[in-house]
Homo-oligomer: A and B are copies of this chain.
Amino acid sequence: MNIGEASQASQLPTKTIRYYEEIKLIKPIRAENGYRTYSETDLHRLRFLQRSRSLGFSIEECRLLLSLYEDEDRASADVKRLALDKIGEIDRKLAELESLKATLSALATDCHGDDRPACPIIDDLAGRTSD
């Protein structure tokens, strides 16, 4: 299977697949003409990577997950810890975004949004207090 077909089957762009090879996440064999040839095993790895990336795991985390995936003697606790860590990371980002949203929403509510220059948003950014 050539890279185009592997791309279709894994839902990953060819650019991404070549990049994953460059950083040694996969190593397809080469045909005589130099084309990359993907086995079913390679395809499984690509799909695994597509899914774990889409769940927010970094490349290095994916590398670790992949090694656990292929380790028959893995402990599920190791996998679960990665997932829980990622959930913690997501929680921190959520809290930060909620905080940003609250601040921006308050400012936007205070702003008339008309053609006059007076603007509480600019005042806040400039460090001017609103009283």
Contacts and interface: CB of A to CB of B under 8 A. Distances in A.
Interface of A: 44, 47-48, 51-52, 55-56, 65, 68-69, 71-77, 79-81, 83-84, 86-87, 90-91, 93-94, 97-98, 100-101, 103-105, 107-108, 111-119, 121-122, 124-127
B94 A97 contact: yes
Given A65-B125, A101-B90, A126-B69, A74 B117 contact: yes
Contacts of A51: 124-127
Contacts of A74: 117, 119, 122
A79 B48 contact: no
29 contacts: A44-B126, A47-B126, A47-B127, A52-B125, A55-B100, A56-B100, A56-B104, A68-B122, A69-B122, A69-B125, A72-B117, A73-B117, A75-B114, A75-B117, A76-B112, A76-B115, A76-B116, A76-B118, A77-B114, A77-B115, A79-B122, A83-B107, A84-B108, A86-B104, A87-B105, A90-B101, A91-B101, A94-B94, A94-B97
